[in-house]
């Protein structure tokens, strides 16, 4: 069963060869309400570590032209935070490795100046002017200011199994690993964005928390998740439900496994999993992700011997970001990686050929991107 907490998988993985050429990130996304108007807004916070063995006093930026010419690889803690919608932005703050403290064990913790993250809380502040952003394209971000103070309670896990297990991690077999300790997470606290204050309430945060680590990024890159779900059968909010879909083209060593996704649906306490690594379930996946002029559209169909899940989500491009990451080797391969937090659509869930429920999804986290070498 996939809902198994394992905070050892949330520990920092940048040891051995991975410390010389690897990344590790912790992602959090949630909904908040404006303190005066009550308007909903979706936010994200991410702590991204890269190539610690190459680090020093100051962050090393891989996208500086001189560094690219000389093959100098990136090394830093990048804190990414921002929002989607009408005033969307991704804001980045960088620290050199001698400026940060990272726990080597479990539970994990990261601290740099006034920014911190662990299993149960996060605080931080990022501020960039338009002049700074224009003068430093290597920051790969927008201008703005954001601060946060949050408590984190992870309620439902998506433990993907063998692929992120101890043996696979020790041998570093996968190019990109994934663990969602909190695919359903409640947040509480406050966040201030460009001078506007937002409150974060546990029962209305519809939160998500996961992590990825490895040597490079998958292509295609697919992610969909929501716990803001309403049953078409009953018309009621599903308070103990969440779904999560991720993957694209995992690699085991040099071997690519094309068109593979890992998925789980925790439906009112009942688990439905679609995991190709559990071969005895005979999981089959077909998916299509594409751009129109105005939208990104996802269609995913997955089957096992007993269950079927059909997911249709769309998100307006005007509300989304083209998120920026550079790989540990210094290359920026993904230049059209669409990322959103307010996708919408439906998930149809079947058991033994009969419809369990058709679920309406709101506040859906969503990503899609592909690159060609």
pLDDT-derived band of residue 279, with 50, 70 and 90 as boundaries? confident
Interval 88-118: pLDDT, tens? 999 999 999 999 999 988 999 999 999 999 9
Tell which phi-psi region holds residue 169, choosing left (phi > 0), alpha (psi between -120 and 50) or beta: alpha
Q: How high does pLDDT run on average in the chain? A: 94
Which residue from 26, 142, 28 is spatially nearest to 91, judged by alpha carbons? 142
Q: What residues have CB less than 8 Å from 371, skipping those under 6 apart? A: 219, 333, 334, 335, 336
Alpha helices, H only, 99-165: 130-135
CA 331 – CA 325 distance, rounded (Å): 9
CA 220 – CA 268 distance, rounded (Å): 31
CB 84 within 8 A of CB 42: yes
Polymer length of the chain: 373
**DSSP letter, residue 57:** S
User: Does 237 have pLDDT greater than 50?
Assistant: yes
Which residue from 146, 344, 328 is spatially nearest to 226, judged by alpha carbons? 344
What 3-state class would DSSP assign to 99?
Answer: helix
Interval 294-352: pLDDT, tens? 999 999 999 999 999 999 999 999 999 999 999 999 999 999 999 999 999 999 999 99
| Predicted pLDDT of residue 229 | 98
Interval 157-210: pLDDT, tens? 999 986 544 544 454 666 889 999 999 999 999 999 999 999 999 999 999 999
Locate the domains of the chain by residue range. 7-369
* Backbone Cα Rg of the chain: 20
CA 368 – CA 287 distance, rounded (Å): 12
| Predicted pLDDT of residue 165 | 47
CA 198 – CA 81 distance, rounded (Å): 15
| Predicted pLDDT of residue 257 | 80
Tell which phi-psi region holds residue 110, choosing left (phi > 0), alpha (psi between -120 and 50) or beta: beta
CA 300 – CA 89 distance, rounded (Å): 28
- pTM, 2 dp: 0.96
CA 84 – CA 205 distance, rounded (Å): 15
Tell which phi-psi region holds residue 198, choosing left (phi > 0), alpha (psi between -120 and 50) or beta: beta
CB 103 within 8 A of CB 146: no
- The CATH classification number of 7-369 equals 2.40.370.10
Tell which phi-psi region holds residue 144, choosing left (phi > 0), alpha (psi between -120 and 50) or beta: left
């Amino acid at each position: 069963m996939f809902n198994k907490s394992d905070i050892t998988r949330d520990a920092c993985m940048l040891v051995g060869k991975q410390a010389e050429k690897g990344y590790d990130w912790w992602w959090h996304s949630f909904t908040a309400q404006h303190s005066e108007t009550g308007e909903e807004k979706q936010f994200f916070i991410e702590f991204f570590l890269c190539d610690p063995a190459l680090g020093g006093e100051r962050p090393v930026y891989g996208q500086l032209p001189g560094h690219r010419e000389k093959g100098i690889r990136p090394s830093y803690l990048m804190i990414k935070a921002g929002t989607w919608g009408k005033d969307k932005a991704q804001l980045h703050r960088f620290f050199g490795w001698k400026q940060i403290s990272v726990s080597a064990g479990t539970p994990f913790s990261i601290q740099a100046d006034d920014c911190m993250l662990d299993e149960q809380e996060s605080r931080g502040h990022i501020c960039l002017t338009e002049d700074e952003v224009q003068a430093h394209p290597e920051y790969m971000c927008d201008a703005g200011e954001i601060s946060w103070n949050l408590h984190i309670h992870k309620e439902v896990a998506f433990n993907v199994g063998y692929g992120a297990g101890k043996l696979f991690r020790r041998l570093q077999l996968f190019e990109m690993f994934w663990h969602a300790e909190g695919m359903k997470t409640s947040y509480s606290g406050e966040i201030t964005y460009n001078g506007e204050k937002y409150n974060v309430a546990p029962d209305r945060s519809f939160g998500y928390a996961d992590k990825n680590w490895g040597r490079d990024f998958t292509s295609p890159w697919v992610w969909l998740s929501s716990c803001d779900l309403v049953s078409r059968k009953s018309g009621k909010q599903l308070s103990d439900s969440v779904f999560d879909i991720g993957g694209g083209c995992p690699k085991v060593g040099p071997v690519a496994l094309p068109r593979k996704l890992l998925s789980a649906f925790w439906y009112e306490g009942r688990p439905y999993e679609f995991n190709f690594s559990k071969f005895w379930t005979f999981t089959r996946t077909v998916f299509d992700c594409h751009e129109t002029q105005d939208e990104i559209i996802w269609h995913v169909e997955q089957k096992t011997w007993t269950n079927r899940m059909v997911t249709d989500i769309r998100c307006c491009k005007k509300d989304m970001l083209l998120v920026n990451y550079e790989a540990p080797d210094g290359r920026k391969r993904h230049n059209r990686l669409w990322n959103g937090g307010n996708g919408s659509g439906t998930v149809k869930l079947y058991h033994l050929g009969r419809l369990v429920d058709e679920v309406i999804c709101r506040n859906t986290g969503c990503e899609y991107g592909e690159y060609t070498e």
